[in-house]
Amino acid sequence: MDNGASSYRRYLEGDDEGIADIVREYKDGLILYLNGYVDNLYTAEDLTEDTFFRLMTKKPRFSGRSTFKTWLYTIGRNIAVDWLRHASKLTEIAPEDMERYREEESDLERAYIREERKRAVHRSLGKLTPDYRSVLWLVYFEGFSSHEAGTILKKSERQMRNLLYRARQSLKSELEKEGFTYEELG
């Protein structure tokens, strides 16, 4: 059972933190998905809230025949389709407002992609040897120079150059296995 399903089960058993976990995990992706249906970021945000509200009030049964995410997105899609069906008239949006909406939508997409990339990097780092993980963490996440990291790890300058090169190559390989696209790692 995936994390969303276990969080939902916890919520149904009375743990309100379960629904908070679901919202944190799926909110941004669901907004982007629903935006594809309604082509309006603000409406997609409202429909996402409606989806979570439906989970909290109606408490639909999750059968487990699909992943929790698939089930949740299906509920969101159904809400979006209902909204589209009942939208009686389109509101006029000024061209200057439309440009601002497009920019905000683009910003949200970039932020979501950035977060997904961070998760992929952290998953891949977890698969590396402790030496590789340490050197990459010190240099790229903590901002130490190669020399400073070498002092911490008790490695010579030559050993650090080799270790850092091998660690980058190993990380690159792990990221490629995940289908990660990157601009520059080395």
DSSP for 105-174, please give it.
Answer: HHHHHHHHHHHHHHHHHHHHHHTS-HHHHHHHIIIIIS---HHHHHHHHT--HHHHHHHHHHHHHHHHHH
**Its pTM surpasses 0.75:** no
Using 70 as the pLDDT threshold, list the residues of the chain that sit under it.
Answer: 1-2, 88-98, 180-186
Number of domains the chain is built from:
2
The model's pLDDT over 13-47, given as tens digits with 9 standing for 90+, comes to 999 999 999 999 999 989 988 888 788 889 999 99
Tell which of 91, 119, 139 closes a domain: 91
| Domain that includes residue 151, residue range | 98-177
